[in-house]
Amino acid sequence: MNKTRFYQLLATILLLCNIGLMVFLWVNKPPHPPMQPKQFVIDKLDLNASQIIQYEQLIISHQQAIKAKINSLKTTKKAYYQTLVDTAVSAQKGQRLNDLMTIHRSIEQTNFEHFDSIKAICMPEQLAAYKVLLTELPNLFIQSQRPRPPFRK
């Protein structure tokens, strides 16, 4: 095989590899990032400027309440799993589990009240869009959660 034939073959292989890579990237391209929940709600309900200000205040108070509950959840979860290690507190396992369920319930109740407060700032003509929004909420929050990296040892 002479040099010219070798370089032609090498160029052809590299071209095919590039085309294959481009096709692979095009087929496996990641989806567009989902819209943030805040902007999604604003767009879906077509909130006016004063409603947006009220909505932003609702978001701030909701985030503060949820943050406190999440911190409590973390502390309680640590105590619950400590019952696996410490035999002295293993009798408290049931109570720790009840505490975890109470906190989860409280978080869901806070979320429910948040969306009830959003309903309160809607005008009558926005209530139909609000009902549609409620049907789309579960998908919105499932999509907005970042994927976790795989567990490594």
Q: Tell me the two tokens of residue 20.
A: 């294959």
Domain spans, the chain: 33-144
- What is the band of 77 on the pLDDT scale with cuts at 50, 70, 90? very high
Domain 33-144 belongs to what topology?
Answer: Four Helix Bundle (Hemerythrin (Met), subunit A) (1.20.120)
Q: Is the pLDDT of residue 40 over 70?
A: yes
How many Cβ atoms sit within 10 Å of the Cβ of residue 119?
A: 14
Q: Is the pLDDT of residue 144 over 60?
A: no
Name the pTM for this structure: 0.67
Kindly tell me the number of DSSP H helices and DSSP E strands found in the chain.
5, 0
> Is the distance from CB of 141 to CB of 37 less than 8 angstroms?
yes
How many Cβ atoms sit within 10 Å of the Cβ of residue 52?
A: 15
Q: Is the pLDDT of residue 136 over 60?
A: yes
* pLDDT for 38: 87
Burial of 58 (0-12, 13-18, 19+ CB in 10 A): middle
